[in-house]
Structure 1
Amino acid sequence: MSEHKLQVPEAVIFDMDGTLFETDTLLVPVHHRVFETLREEGLYEHETPPVERLLSCLGMLLEDIWRQVMPDSSEAARQRADVLLLQYEMEGLIRGEGRLYPYVEETLRELKDRGVKLFVASNGLEDYVKGVARHRGIAELFDGLYSAGEYATASKVDLVARLLKDHGVKSAWMVGDRSSDVEAGKGNGLQTIGCAYATYGRAAELDGADVLIADFRELARLLDQQ
């Protein structure tokens, strides 16, 4: 963990994929199903792109993800992929697929017990973000689950700004694994914590974060140091 003095926050705002949720435990089989269906429906003629390409795009808006994952596809294929991705993700969550990172639930409960307000701010779809929280048993711990899919924000900076305004939050930590999370925190005057345990992005994406953590439990320890 890199050392940097943080102020005690009234709230902690979390990204979802690569921060709370170990997304590849759900997304790998979903990815293959999406492209099998697209080919069956005549919307995509190529081989399935490497799943690593999709995982490396986590944190982006969905429309930007598909441009990276299948740049040679039609608009119709990308729109259908949106629908299939959500459908297969929700089916997987209901079946019990996909897991939280180690110690996420325990640490979230500890933070909440200590009076910290908890939020999610994700560039994902509304049903997906809320579905992960609900099916993994952590939804009730949050004061708000914000997604680009629900609020149609152009960037995570805008999404976090909306969250802060809605709830009157004056001080918060922004916790995430991608450059968009660091930007969302800095763009709203928040201190930022980078999740170095996630493997979906490049380490350089967390340049500029005030603190890096290698274990989710370190969040509680950071509070103890204040």
Structure 2
Amino acid sequence: MSLFPDTKTFMTIGPLHIAWYAVIILSAAFLTYYLCLRKFRKMGYEDEIFENFFLMMLPTAIIGARIWYVIFEWRQYVDNPIRVFYIWEGGLAIHGGIIAAVLLGWYYFRKRCINGLRIMDVVFPYLLIAQAIGRWGNFMNQEAYGGAVSAQFMSHFPAFIKDQMFIMGEYHHPTFLYESIGNIVGFILIYFVYRKYGRRKRGDLTFAYLAWYGLVRFFVEGFRTDSLMMGNIRVAQLVSILGIIIGLLGIAGVWDKLFQNFYPFKKQKPAVIFDLDGTLLDTEALIFASFRHVFSKYKPGYELSLKELKSFLGPTLKASFEKYFDPSMSEELIQAYREYNVAHHDELVKPFPGAKETLQYLKEQEYPIAIASNKIKETVVRGITHCGLAEYIDVIIGCDQICDPKPSPQCILEACKELYCSHDDVIYVGDSITDIQAAKNMAAYSVAVLFDEENADNLLAEKPCRTIHHLKELIDIVKEDHEWSDATI
């Protein structure tokens, strides 16, 4: 019994023949799309951005792959040029598809102020999976095979591969399998090893892909019998050598230096976005007093412990009150809280040491500065105005301006929009678990302020990118030369 009774036709519906090759290639493409989309969401981008790119990229890549093939096999089409469009006859070259997709991506993401290197670092490792799967389409078509080999050599392979590689009376090297395995190994090494232990900057995963795939394809191409040729030179081997060189020089940082003033290598100053309470302003005394006032009025005799009071730092008022009261009372409780809070605000609120000096430095160095808080905007404005910090802040986002409070990253993303800057380069500074979670939910560079030693362990458990014990330490951090996003996602 044959594993594949018809290795070329997957399904026939009337006059329509659906090829295994098409099914496998499209399956690989959509799997890669799904994996990339998951990562894209973690970076805080809306699905629509990547969906639209994919819908344009897929036909663009196919056209690019076809053009590349036709250029080097023009003699097949010179007598009947219309056959150039007969794509169902076969003839696609992966290098042309990749080049076309990269050119489209360069235009598409640059227009949307999205860092192209960051996007490529998401896509290219997963592309190895797509290529590994796609090579099985060549297997089904009995193409992209190597030179003749003995039956004894093929006896080391499963029977279904041996049978399919028996072509024109001879067994042939299953080069599709060599490249497929090489791509899977490359994905494992790049995604699970290099990404964790070797990555230093944006573009490194892309350059690692170019170097690895170039190496694999160079050696595999040497076995193949159907190579595109330019004189006596195998085109794929030439392109592979270029890929290896580009990849290694990229990892070494050469392109960063040569193209430092051009997209996507040009460095952008990160937007520095702060939480308010417990980060810029010391409002703990006011918050504790306001909660005690509400509890004394609506839950007389109940004494809030210090642990309970500290649990109110970070979450919204609604979330805090609903732990102790019926949700129907939330609005009344919040109103009572805010009345007391406003009445005693100026006597109990003060800036943390170094807040003004840090903001002043950031402003002088032209860093975009914002506050993204779970407090309403009016209260934020009052606090920074009272403490003399308002002149340094470009944008304020309060919980009344968004739908989802922290740990959703919506307030940070909204701040980036109002700052007119990409959220690929964002430092978010906060003192609570929800602050660090919000930053991580959009892969921003998170900085935890450890003013409260009792809460330090909880914050460290969230694995912020950095920690500080004084706001002035932030000045040294922004001077560092590295990427302003969380590379651990």
TM-score by length of structure 1 reads 0.83
Segments of structure 1 that go 5 or more residues without pairing to the other structure are 39-43
1:175 partner SS: strand
Moved more, 197-206 or 97-106: 197-206
CA contact (8 A) 2:368 2:419 kept: no
| 1:190 maps to 2:448 | no
> Which residue of 1 is the match for residue 295 of structure 2?
35
CA contact (8 A) 2:396 2:415 kept: no
Counterpart code for 1:97:
L
| Deviation (angstroms), 1:139 | 1.5
1:36–1:179: structure 2 CA closer, same or farther, 3 Å change rule?
Answer: closer
| Deviation (angstroms), 1:200 | 7.0
1:116 partner SS: coil
1:61–1:199: structure 2 CA closer, same or farther, 3 Å change rule?
Answer: farther
CA distance in structure 2 between the partners assigned to 1:114 and 1:86 by the alignment: 36
Higher helix share: 2
CA distance in structure 2 between the partners assigned to 1:203 and 1:209 by the alignment: 12
| Deviation (angstroms), 1:60 | 0.9
2:348 partner SS: coil
Segments of structure 2 that go 5 or more residues without pairing to the other structure are 1-199, 202-266, 482-489
| 1:80 maps to 2:325 | no
> Which residue of 2 is the match for residue 107 of structure 1?
358
Query: How much identity, in percent, do the aligned residues show?
Result: 21
CA contact (8 A) 1:89 1:128 kept: no
Residue 283 of structure 2 is aligned with which of 23, 35, 44?
Answer: 23
Residue 305 of structure 2 is aligned with which of 47, 50, 58?
Answer: 50
| Deviation (angstroms), 1:111 | 1.2
> Which residue of 1 is the match for residue 378 of structure 2?
127
> Which residue of 1 is the match for residue 150 of structure 2?
none
| Deviation (angstroms), 1:210 | 0.9
2:435 partner SS: helix
CA contact (8 A) 1:19 1:198 kept: no
> Which residue of 2 is the match for residue 152 of structure 1?
403
Shift >6 Å, 4+ stretches: 5-8
Residue 471 of structure 2 is aligned with which of 216, 221, 225?
Answer: 216
| 1:13 maps to 2:13 | no
What per-residue deviation string (whole Å, max 9, x for no partner) do you get for residues 69-107 of structure 1?
xx2x2335432220121111111124x321121111111
| Deviation (angstroms), 1:152 | 3.2
CA distance in structure 1 between the partners assigned to 2:478 and 2:456 by the alignment: 27
Structure having greater relative contact order (Cα 8 Å, sep ≥ 6): 1
CA contact (8 A) 1:174 1:193 kept: yes
Counterpart code for 1:107:
T
1:25 partner SS: helix
CA contact (8 A) 2:359 2:392 kept: yes
CA contact (8 A) 1:126 1:148 kept: yes
CA distance in structure 2 between the partners assigned to 1:214 and 1:35 by the alignment: 32
> Which residue of 1 is the match for residue 393 of structure 2?
142
1:46–1:125: structure 2 CA closer, same or farther, 3 Å change rule?
Answer: farther
CA distance in structure 2 between the partners assigned to 1:210 and 1:143 by the alignment: 24
Counterpart code for 1:208:
K
Residue 416 of structure 2 is aligned with which of 164, 176, 179?
Answer: 164
What per-residue deviation string (whole Å, max 9, x for no partner) do you get for residues 35-93 of structure 1?
3333xxxxx3442423541322211122111123xx2x233543222012111111112
Q: Which has the larger radius of gyration?
A: 2
1:13 partner SS: strand
Counterpart code for 1:178:
S
| Deviation (angstroms), 1:199 | 4.8
Moved more, 138-147 or 182-191: 182-191
> Which residue of 1 is the match for residue 345 of structure 2?
93
CA distance in structure 2 between the partners assigned to 1:32 and 1:204 by the alignment: 24
Counterpart code for 1:149:
D
CA distance in structure 1 between the partners assigned to 2:476 and 2:420 by the alignment: 26
CA contact (8 A) 1:56 1:201 kept: no
CA distance in structure 2 between the partners assigned to 1:162 and 1:132 by the alignment: 21
| Deviation (angstroms), 1:169 | 1.8
